[in-house]
Chains A and B, each alone.
Chain A
Amino acid sequence: NAGVTQTPKFQVLKTGQSMTLQCAQDMNHEYMSWYRQDPGMGLRLIHYSVGAGITDQGEVPNGYNVSRSTTEDFPLRLLSAAPSQTSVYFCASSSHSAPYEQYFGPGTRLTVT
């Protein structure tokens, strides 16, 4: 199993550009989440999904969109990038039977100039 994979690993955007961060898992997990981590801080939840077709907002959802058309994939879209979105983004997944035993991807390091 590859576990949770994220692409790209690094990305530089200009202010106003849009892009999609990809996240995929091969463990057939129902739950998937997106977090961001700023320097010296803990993780903050952006959006999460409890199953295909169902998404909900987390602590810091503004400026981001998500969709969950399949169990495996949970892409995060930045609509119009801003310097405040410079961060490391982590995707995580877990099963319905153990929702808080989450498996995290390696992260995407995003810089917005």
Chain B
Amino acid sequence: DAKTTQPTSMDCAEGRAANLPCNHSTISGNEYVYWYRQIHSQGPQYIIHGLKNNETNEMASLIITEDRKSSTLILPHATLRDTAVYYCIVRGNQAGTALIFGKGTTLSVSS
């Protein structure tokens, strides 16, 4: 499984875009990039995932570089409730294994 590297922490002003980077230089062709977040004391929450095309949903956008070695999760208008630990995870889509969580990026949104 491809290893991911994320910054330990980031800050963002409320109302601005939060751009969270993730490096996954050993990703293989059939592996997806998944993003989760965990708000303090709650269970993790699925945000978005992608293979090679950029993806957008009601929560966020995911930009994957053309060589697929890195990606960026974008929260377009961060709010205080977006303060959380964000996890970037690379997995194939074949069933039979489970998610491996690292330490993630702690995003602090302030007013």
How far is B32's CA from A99's CA once the two chains are assembled, in angstroms? 12
Q: Which stretch (A13-21, A43-51, A66-74, A78-86) binds chain B?
A: A43-51
> Are A90 and B44 CB-contacts (below 8 A) given A45-B100, A100-B34, A100-B49?
yes
> Number of residues in B with C-beta < 8 Å to the partner?
24
How far is B34's CA from A101's CA once the two chains are assembled, in angstroms? 8
Shortest distance in angstroms between A106's beta carbon and chain B's nearest beta carbon? 6
> Number of residues in A with C-beta < 8 Å to the partner?
26
Closest to A101 in B: B46
Contact A107 B43 (CB under 8 A): yes
How far is B1's CA from A45's CA once the two chains are assembled, in angstroms? 15
Contact B98 A41 (CB under 8 A): no
Which A residues are CB-close (under 8 A) to B103? 41-42
Contact B43 A105 (CB under 8 A): yes
* Cross-interface CB contact of A50 among B45, B96, B101, cutoff 8 Å: B96
* Cross-interface CB contact of A106 among B36, B42, B100, cutoff 8 Å: B42
Closest to B34 in A: A100
- Asked if A102 lies at the interface with its beta carbon under 8 angstroms from chain B, I say yes
Q: Which stretch (B17-25, B58-66, B85-93) binds chain A?
A: B85-93
> Are A33 and B49 CB-contacts (below 8 A) given A42-B104, A90-B44, A104-B43?
no
Chain A positions 21 through 44: 1 when the CB is less than 8 Å from some CB of chain B, otherwise 0: 000000000110101000001111
7 closest residue pairs by CB, A with B = A104-B43, A43-B101, A42-B101, A99-B95, A48-B98, A33-B98, A42-B103
Listed by A's residue number, 13 A-B pairs whose Cβ atoms lie within 8 Å are A4-B43, A31-B98, A33-B98, A35-B101, A42-B87, A43-B44, A45-B98, A45-B100, A99-B95, A100-B32, A101-B34, A101-B49, A104-B45
A residues at B contact (CB < 8 Å): 4, 30-31, 33, 35, 41-45, 48, 50, 58-59, 90, 92, 96, 99-107
B residues at A contact (CB < 8 Å): 32, 34, 36, 41-46, 49, 87, 89, 91, 93-96, 98-104
